[in-house]
Structure 1
Amino acid sequence: MDSFTRDGLRFDVIEHGPADGTPVLLLHGFPQTAASWEPVARRLADAGYRVLAPDQRGYSPGARPAGRRAYRVEELAADAVALVDAAGGGPVHVVGHDWGAIVAWALAALHPERVRTVTGVSVPHPAAFLRAMRSSRQVALSWYTYVFQLPGLPERFLSRPGALPRVLRRTGQTAERARRDEAALASRGGLRAAVAGGVNWYRATPLWEHPGLPIPVEAPALMVWSDGDTAVSRAAVEGNAAWMRGPYRLEVFSGVSHWIPDEAPDRLADLVLEHVAER
């Protein structure tokens, strides 16, 4: 599989592993693409899983609808459902990093019949995140989300030569990987268009049909967070358990930045393989 469609939109997909393997969805975050999962994907594929990593809405050149309403989390989760259907209907294991984690939690909460297990990397369930915004320093860490609400400004700034790598390096990404991420976005129909597609996910948050997504997750869940994360607080992660109804496990990586799939891919893959093998 190299693509799938939904409502006239075409999403690009990177597939690893045997076609008859148990499917695992890998959902990337901002500002990255499916290519950011490469080391983890190969580990899972070597273990016999069919790994599907899409360039999500706004990142795939063929899936950039106009208007921020089209980027609500309900639409993002429905895109993942369409991928599950294209892959045979599921249920699937789903792993998401950053915004991809929010989509993974939403998929498990809104479409529980499609999810066998869920793994959130770096970002907890939206309801836990929202509660932390009201009662901890998370609101200060999330200052950039308010800037992203400004029309046109974020994509103009981040599409300037070298601007995106500089921002990523301040959050712990290496210079080499920051340039890789910039190049990957630029190859998806232009850097500014790809950045705008990702920023629209932030702009759509006030328009969610289920504000804060206060819906618990029933599937067995794994949360992986790192204490070097400059975007997500420990308080937000510790509140995640309140929204889990099935078996739940929290793993904390010490001395690792927000970019866990890049910085500690083997350790993350080991945890995911252990988590999915049990179900």
Structure 2
Amino acid sequence: MISIGALNLHIEEAGPTDGPLVILLHGFPETSRAWRKVMQPLADKGLRVVAPDLRGYGKSDVPAGRDAYALDTLAADIVGLADALGAPTFALVGHDWGGIVAWAVAARHPERLSRLIILNAPHADTVKAEMRAHPAQILRSLYVGFFQIPRLPEALLGAFRFRALRRALTRTSRPLAFDAGDLDAYVESWSRPGGLTAMLNYYRALRLPRAPLGRIRVPTLILWGMKDGYLGAHLADAAAAMCDDARITRFNEATHWIQHEEPRQVATKIAAFVQG
């Protein structure tokens, strides 16, 4: 457990403590377990790898209220984590919601990042325009609107031992991307008091006012599973256009859950970019 002010974050670690720090941010509805197939390959390349449970997830603290999950607050958590780890600069990797947070860290605290690696996560400033240009993305994102409803999403997602969430993972990924151990661990996390509401508050806090993120100055690598059922590949191109220095690697057979399906390739790409 790492204390960041009044917040306690649970982390998983691998690799030499004197290696370059790489922080891995998971998305919805996972925990730091999302990186279990990637952490050791990165550590084997001499990197110090840290994967936190984001606030409200896993074994980390569960602050109450939507406002506790504002994007700038989430970004500040990661900078605070790096401070607690004694790292003035670090490489940051984010998938899904972890990627959205990673974009915010790069925008608000560019001096802290050596490299930014994004897995299937849009730059927040581009989403509305991309929905107008690609109406199919509106349909893909309808669940975001549903999550804004009070209490009903918690009831439906939590029913029958979180069946809807378990199916969301297994039916939108390649076979065996998630095993029984993954699902059991996630059910345990989702069952924590207030945990499911905290996860949904990430989406509900999107309605809070914030300044645009703007352009990204940090060297950026975007890894994108082209069979993502939630996020169209056009979002990768739009995100890259917001960067001063970005490259995209497309995984033609991967879905949204790219690090589960192509862990070795993902680890190789991350390590080469961080150490290049």
Question: Taking structure 2 as the reference length, what is the TM-score of the superposition?
Answer: 0.93
Measure the CA separation in 1 of the matches of 2:192 and 2:179: 13
Match of 1:22 among 3, 20, 23: 20
**For residue 237 of structure 1, what is the aligned residue in structure 2?**
236
Identify the residue that residue 109 of structure 1 maps to in structure 2.
107
Q: Which amino acid aligns with 1:9?
A: L
* 1:202 maps to amino acid: Y
Unaligned runs of 5+ in 2: none
| Residue 141 (structure 1) aligned with residue 140 (structure 2) | yes
Q: What is the aligned counterpart of 2:35 among 20, 34, 37?
A: 37
Q: Point out where structure 1 has 5 or more consecutive residues left out of the alignment.
A: none
Whole-angstrom distance in 2 between the partners of 1:233 and 1:274: 26
Moved more, 163-172 or 22-31: 163-172
**Do the aligned residues in 1 keep the contact of 2:19 with 2:47 (CA within 8 Å)?**
yes
What's the CA shift for 1:192? 6.4
Query: Which runs of structure 2 are paired with 1:37-116 in the superposition (5 Å)?
Result: 37-116=35-114
Distance 2:132 2:193 in 1: 32
CA contact (8 A) 1:23 1:90 kept: no
RMSD of equivalent CA atoms: 1.8
1:122 counterpart = 2:120 = yes
CA distance in 2, matches of 1:261, 1:192: 28
CA distance change for structure 1 residues 176 and 238 in 2, over 3 Å: closer, same or farther? closer
**Displacement, 1:214?**
3.5
Question: Residue 229 of structure 1 contacts residue 258 of structure 1 at CA under 8 Å; is this kept in 2?
Answer: yes
Return the offset for 1:189: 7.2
Indicate the residue corresponding to 1:254 in structure 2: 252
Paired with 1:5 and 1:123, the residues of 2 have a C-alpha distance of 27
User: Match for residue 216 of structure 1?
Assistant: 215
Structure 2 SS opposite 1:84: helix
Map of 1:196 onto structure 2: 197
CA pair 62-53 structure 1, distance change in 2 beyond 3 A: closer
Q: Which amino acid aligns with 1:234?
A: A
The CA deviation at 1:133 is 2.0
Shift in Å, 1:180: 3.9
TM-score normalised by L of structure 1 = 0.92
CA distance in 1, matches of 2:143, 2:272: 35
Cα 1:143–1:86 change in 2 (3 A) is same
